[in-house]
Amino acid sequence: MTTPAVGIALAQFAPGPDPQENAAAIAAYAEEAAARGAGVLVAPEYSSYFVTPFDGTLPAHAEPLDGPFAARLAGIAAETGVTIVAGLVEEAPGDRVRNAVIAVDGSGVLAVYRKQHLYDAFGERESDHIAPGALGPPETFVVGGLRFGLMTCYDLRFPESARILADAGVDVAVVPAEWVRGPLKEFHWETLVAARAIENTMFVAAADHPAPVGVGASRLADPSGVTIAALGPGPGLVMGWADRETIAAVRAANPALVLRRYRVVADPSR
């Protein structure tokens, strides 16, 4: 039985310090995505609130999962019929906040992932402001018969993050990001998105902030690592399609990758 393809739209925009304006931007992209037949819209990391450099305003703008930003996304999802994935600055105990990604449909929050690998690299110190997420089961949701799994930005540099999703039966890894610009960073971004797709034989949908803060280049890679939809450095929306038949064909042609995955799961020493 053929599974219908699911349209995945990537919204590349620059969130700012006004959550209402950020939600309005997502609403506009969701309307466009719905008109083009998308089932899922992926927005960037920190979609609810973003300032650069980070400062002491983050805790004051952190929200709970049942707060106004998530509620607004649920309303947008209900109006458009599109499941929305977006970054949320979430409340946390103490002086720091959590860098969360939420998947939301018209019924509310479907899945929540709190970033585990914080961006303490290339002169940045995300951990000064963000509390890492706890280890836990993969966060997934289903749209159109495909299983989607959540990651965030810097997680792309850690292959285990995507492998855990693949082992959980994920067809599409979703990666909201704020991939900071720097020497070779565009190359790293494009390479890592493709690598995670190739080694796990799954689609990878990654949405970034546009230039000048991010590299842009939001993209959807297929299970062979081929980019099937992408943007340049500026704001915009791009869309591609994911289907289980493509995944099955790639895995049939390269069964060693699938066997390797199941060996890792079966071996309790790993």
Please identify every residue annotated as catalytic. Answer: 45, 115, 153
CA distance 191 to 78: 35
DSSP per-residue string spanning 8-72: EEEEE----S-HHHHHHHHHHHHHHHHHTTEEEEE--TT-S---SS--TTTGGG-B-TTSHHHHH
Pairing of strands 172-176, 140-143: unpaired
CA distance 262 to 267: 9
Biggest CA–CA distance in the chain, Å, is 53
- CA atoms within 13 Å, Cβ hemisphere of 36: 18
| DSSP element (H, E) containing 204 | strand 203-207
DSSP 8-state secondary structure symbol assigned to residue 153: G
Retrieve residue 150's tokens: 């959540």
Distance in angstroms between the alpha carbons of the first and the last residue of the chain: 35
Residue 53 vs residues 8, 175, 213: alpha-carbon distances, Å: 31, 22, 10
Find out whether 79 and 93 touch, Cβ atoms under 8 Å.
no
| DSSP element (H, E) containing 102 | strand 97-105
